[in-house]
C-alpha cells in the first residue's frame, strides 16, 4: 500500500537512506532492493513530501517511530489542489477504511501543518472547520488521542526554505501511522553531555549512524576511533552492546577524571556500559589477537585530519627503523604513553576496510564518514571500495563551501579470504593512485583552512560564495 511520508527538511540525502535502512532492519531485507518511491505531482526531489510503497502498516509504524528524520507517515485519505478537491477525494475514500477511526468510543486530534510557513491558531481552526464533513463521532483529546490526523498544506512552498519554486499548491489529509521521537535529541544533546572532546559526534548524526547500521538489541557494535564515545552512546540507546578503541590511552582510560570520561557518558543516560574500551590502534587492531567475525556493525568517524589528525603506533624513529622495538619497563608501565607517528587518511581507510572485512559478521554494516573537497567543476567523488562489501548508501553533508563529509554505509556480502586480502590491497593501491592523491598528509587540512584569497578552483578564480540552491546545506 502507498503511504504519504513527510520528512523533516534537513539532512536531505540522509532521509531516504535512513528509511531504507530501517525498512531492512524491521522486515529483514538486505537493503539491496530499494523501496518504491514517488513524488507528489510537481514536487522537487528534495521536497519533504514523498509517497512510499510498504507491505504493511506495522512496518510503516516501526520505521517512523524509530527514525530521526520522518516527521510522519500517513495513510492518505485525500489530496487536492484546493479544499474543494481535497473534500471530494476524502469523500470518495473507502468507508471501510475510514469508519474504524471515526467510531463513537474513540478519541482523536487533528493537527494542521505546512511547509515553508507558520499557520496561526485562527488559521488552523479555519482549516479544521473545513473538515467538518468528515463524520467524526469520537471525542477530541489533544493530549493522548487514540487516532491522530494531519492536514498538510504546502501553499507558499515556492521561494521558501531554499527549495526551488513549486508550481501547484497541494493539500494532504491523512491518518498518522507513526512519527520520529525527536525528543531524544534534546535528552542527548552535546551541550548537556558530561565528557566532550573537540570532535564529539552530534547526537542527531550519532542516531542516524546507528540507524544506517541497523542497530538493535543484542547486536555488538564497535567504534575503532571511539574518542568520547558519542557514536556508541547512540548505538547503546537503541539497545546495542558496544565496544570501542582509541589510540589515545588518555581518552579511553582517564578522560577528564573519575566522573567525566567515556564511562560516565553512558552512566549519565542510564545506558549499559560498553563491553570494553581498548587502547588499540586501527593499524594493529584486535583481530591480531585472534578475534574473528564478531561485530554486527562498525560505526565510526575516522580522524581525517581536518580537526583531529590520525596517529599510528610506533613513533617516527621506530617506523623508519632508526630504533629497535622496545619493551616498556615494568616501573614505567602505568603512565607510559606510547609514541605515535602521523597516519594518513589513505592508510587509515585501507586499515578500516580491512578490519571491517575481517571482523564483521556476514551482512554486517560498516558506517563511516569520508571527507570530500567541494571543488567547483570537480567530477563526482569516488569512494573506497572492497571486494567484501557493497555500498548501500552515500549521504553528503556540506560542512563549508570548501568541504563536505559523506556518510558511507557498506554491507558485508562476501567472507574474508586470503585471495580477497590480496585483491583488496591491489584495489586500494589503484584507488590511492587515482583518487586519493589530494588526501595525502595534510592536504585536506590546508585545503579547508588556507586563507580564502589563495584558495582557488584551479583556474585562478576564487570559489564563488554567491547564494544558490544547495539542498544539502540544510
Ligand X SMILES: C[S@@+](CC[C@H](N)C(=O)[O-])C[C@H]1O[C@@H](n2cnc3c(N)ncnc32)[C@H](O)[C@@H]1O
Contact 151, 113 (CB under 8 A): yes
Q: Taking CB under 6 A as the rule, does residue 62 contact ligand X?
A: no
Which residue in 220, 179, 184 sits closest to 202, CA to CA?
184
Q: Which of 80, 138, 145, 197 binds ligand X (CB under 6 A)?
A: 197
CB closer to ligand X, 54 vs 299: 299
- Decide: is 231 part of the binding site for ligand X (CB under 6 A): yes
Q: Is 350 in the site for ligand X (CB under 6 A)?
A: no
Instruction: Give the separation between CA 321 and CA 342, rounded to whole angstroms.
Output: 16
Instruction: Pick the binder of ligand X from 65, 156, 160, 199 (CB under 6 A).
Output: 199
Do the bridges between strand 70-80 and strand 139-140 make them parallel or antiparallel, or are there none, so unpaired? unpaired
Write down the least CB distance from residue 209 to ligand X, Å: 10
**Residue whose beta carbon is closest to ligand X:** 227
Task: Kindly state whether residue 228 participates in binding ligand X, applying the rule CB under 6 A.
Answer: yes
Among 78, 224, 274, 384, binds ligand X (CB under 6 A): 224
Task: Work out whether 354 is an interface residue with ligand X (CB under 6 A).
Answer: no
CB of 116 to ligand X, least distance (A): 34
Task: Decide: is 249 part of the binding site for ligand X (CB under 6 A).
Answer: no
For position 115 contacting ligand X by CB under 6 A, the verdict is no
Nearer to ligand X, 294 or 341 (CB): 341
Question: Residue 332 and residue 334: Cα distance in Å, rounded?
Answer: 6
3-state secondary structure of 61: helix
Q: In what order do the strands lie in the sheet with 360-373?
A: 276-279, 241-246, 220-223, 295-300, 360-373, 403-412, 389-398
Query: 131-150: which residues touch ligand X (CB under 6 A)?
Result: none
Part in contact with ligand X (CB under 6 A); list of ranges 9-17, 99-107, 136-144, 227-235: 227-235
- Cα 26 to Cα 279: distance, rounded to the nearest angstrom: 34
Give the binding range for ligand X (CB under 6 A) out of 45-53, 164-172, 219-227, 383-391.
219-227
Sequence length of the chain is 474
Half-sphere exposure of 315 (CA within 13 A, CB side): 11
Residues 22, 247: Cα–Cα separation, whole Å? 32
What does the DSSP 8-state code read for residue 337?
A: -
User: Applying CB under 6 A, what is the total number of residues that bind ligand X?
Assistant: 25
Give the residues lining the site for ligand X (CB under 6 A).
197, 199-201, 224-225, 227-228, 230-231, 245-248, 251, 281-283, 301, 303, 308, 310-312, 343
Amino acid at each position: 500500500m502507498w503511504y504519504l511520508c513527510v520528512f523533516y527538511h534537513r539532512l536531505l540525502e540522509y532521509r531516504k537512506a535512513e528509511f531504507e535502512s530501517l525498512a531492512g532492519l524491521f522486515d529483514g531485507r538486505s537493503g539491496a532492493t530499494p523501496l518504491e518511491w514517488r513524488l507528489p505531482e510537481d514536487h522537487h526531489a528534495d521536497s519533504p513530501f514523498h509517497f512510499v510503497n510498504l507491505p504493511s502498516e506495522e512496518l510503516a509504524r516501526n520505521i517512523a517511530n524509530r527514525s530521526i528524520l520522518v516527521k510522519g507517515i500517513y495513510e492518505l485519505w485525500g489530496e487536492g489542489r484546493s479544499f474543494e478537491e481535497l473534500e471530494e477525494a476524502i469523500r470518495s475514500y473507502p468507508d471501510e477504511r475510514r469508519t474504524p477511526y471515526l467510531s463513537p468510543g474513540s478519541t482523536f486530534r487533528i493537527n494542521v501543518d505546512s511547509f515553508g510557513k507558520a499557520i496561526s491558531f485562527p488559521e488552523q481552526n479555519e482549516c479544521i472547520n473545513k473538515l467538518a464533513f468528515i463524520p467524526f463521532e469520537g471525542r477530541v483529546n489533544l493530549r493522548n488521542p487514540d487516532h491522530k490526523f494531519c492536514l498538510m498544506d504546502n501553499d507558499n512552498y515556492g521561494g521558501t526554505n531554499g527549495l526551488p519554486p513549486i508550481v501547484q499548491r497541494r493539500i494532504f489529509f491523512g491518518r498518522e501511522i507513526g512519527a520520529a521521537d525527536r525528543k531524544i535529541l534534546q535528552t542527548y544533546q552535546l551541550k548537556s553531555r558530561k565528557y566532550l572532546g573537540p570532535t564529539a559526534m552530534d547526537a542527531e548524526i550519532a542516531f542516524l549512524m546507528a540507524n544506517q547500521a541497523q542497530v538493535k538489541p543484542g547486536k555488538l557494535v564497535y567504534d575503532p576511533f571511539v574518542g568520547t564515545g558519542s557514536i556508541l552512546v547512540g548505538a547503546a540507546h537503541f539497545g546495542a552492546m558496544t565496544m570501542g578503541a582509541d589510540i589515545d590511552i588518555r581518552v579511553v582510560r582517564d578522560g577528564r577524571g573519575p566522573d567525566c570520561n567515556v564511562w560516565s557518558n553512558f552512566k549519565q543516560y542510564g545506558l549499559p556500559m560498553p563491553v570494553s574500551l581498548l587502547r588499540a590502534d586501527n593499524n594493529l587492531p584486535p583481530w591480531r589477537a585472534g578475534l574473528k567475525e564478531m561485530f554486527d556493525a562498525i560505526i565510526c568517524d575516522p580522524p581525517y585530519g581536518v580537526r583531529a589528525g590520525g596517529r599510528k603506533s610506533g613513533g617516527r624513529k621506530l617506523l623508519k627503523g632508526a630504533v629497535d622495538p622496545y619493551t616498556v619497563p615494568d616501573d614505567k608501565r602505568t603512565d607510559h604513553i606510547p609514541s605515535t607517528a602521523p597516519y594518513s587518511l589513505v592508510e587509515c581507510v585501507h586499515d578500516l576496510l580491512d578490519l571491517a572485512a575481517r571482523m564483521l559478521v556476514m551482512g554486517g554494516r560498516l558506517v563511516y564518514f569520508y571527507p570530500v573537497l567541494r571543488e567547483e567543476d570537480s567530477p563526482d567523488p569516488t569512494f573506497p571500495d572492497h571486494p567484501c562489501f557493497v555500498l548501500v548508501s552515500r549521504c553528503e553533508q556540506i560542512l563549508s563551501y570548501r568541504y563536505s563529509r559523506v556518510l558511507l554505509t557498506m554491507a558485508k556480502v562476501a567472507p574474508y579470504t586470503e585471495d580477497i586480502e590480496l585483491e583488496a590491497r591491489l584495489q586500494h593501491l589503484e584507488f590511492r593512485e587515482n583518487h586519493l592523491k589530494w588526501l595525502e598528509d595534510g592536504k585536506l587540512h590546508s585545503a579547508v583552512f588556507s586563507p580564502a584569497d589563495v584558495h582557488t578552483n584551479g583556474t585562478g578564480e576564487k570559489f564563488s560564495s554567491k547564494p544558490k540552491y544547495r539542498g544539502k546545506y540544510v
